[in-house]
């Protein structure tokens, strides 16, 4: 099984940068995903890492260190619309996803 930890809540100011950490313990690792979920809506795919290093997609970047069981999602130039929950999910050797409880990010003006 998987054990996935991420902070419950984070608050940041519009225009700032926020880093959401995710640590995991897994019996088999086959990739790590980040999803964004606005209140009352479906999770939407943000990023995927399977190799160590940084993946950049516009204002969002995701980093993975497999040896440390660690990932982070970096949100730059925060906007009010970035207020949402961010879900870290680990895929196991059977290609099944296990999700963390999510980090609620609140962006303040």
Partner 1 sequence: IAGITQAPTSQILAAGRRMTLRCTQDMRHNAMYWYRQDLGLGLRLIHYSNTAGTTGKGEVPDGYSVSRANTDDFPLTLASAVPSQTSVYFCASSEGDSDTQYFGPGTRLTVL
Name the residues that contact partner 1, by CB under 8 A.
Answer: 4, 30, 33, 35, 41-45, 48, 87, 89, 95-102
For partner 1, give the closer residue by CB, 69 or 100: 100
Please state the closest distance from residue 56 (CB atom) to partner 1, in A: 17
Please state the closest distance from residue 102 (CB atom) to partner 1, in A: 6
Dihedral Cα 66, 68, 69, 73, nearest 10 deg: -90
The residue among 60, 104, 61, 66 whose CA lies nearest residue 86 is: 104
Query: What would the 3-class secondary structure string for 47-86 be?
Result: EEECCCEEEEECCEEEEEECCCCEEEEEECCCCHHHCEEE
Paired tokens of 75:
């949100």
- Given a contact cutoff of 8 angstroms between Cβ atoms, the answer to whether 60 and 47 are in contact is yes
Please state the closest distance from residue 30 (CB atom) to partner 1, in A: 8
For partner 1, give the closer residue by CB, 32 or 75: 32
Please state the closest distance from residue 60 (CB atom) to partner 1, in A: 15
For partner 1, give the closer residue by CB, 78 or 89: 89
For partner 1, give the closer residue by CB, 18 or 46: 46
């Amino acid at each position: 099984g998987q054990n996935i930890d991420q902070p419950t809540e984070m608050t940041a100011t519009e225009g700032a940068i926020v880093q959401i950490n995710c640590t995991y313990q897994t019996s088999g690792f086959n990739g790590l995903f980040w999803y964004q979920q606005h209140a009352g809506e479906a999770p939407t795919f943000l990023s995927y890492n399977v190799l160590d290093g940084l993946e950049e997609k516009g204002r969002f970047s995701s980093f993975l260190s497999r040896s440390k069981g660690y990932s982070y999602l970096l949100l730059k130039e925060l906007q009010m619309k970035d207020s949402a929950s961010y879900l870290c999910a680990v895929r196991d050797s059977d290609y099944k996803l296990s999700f963390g409880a999510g980090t609620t990010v609140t962006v303040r003006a």
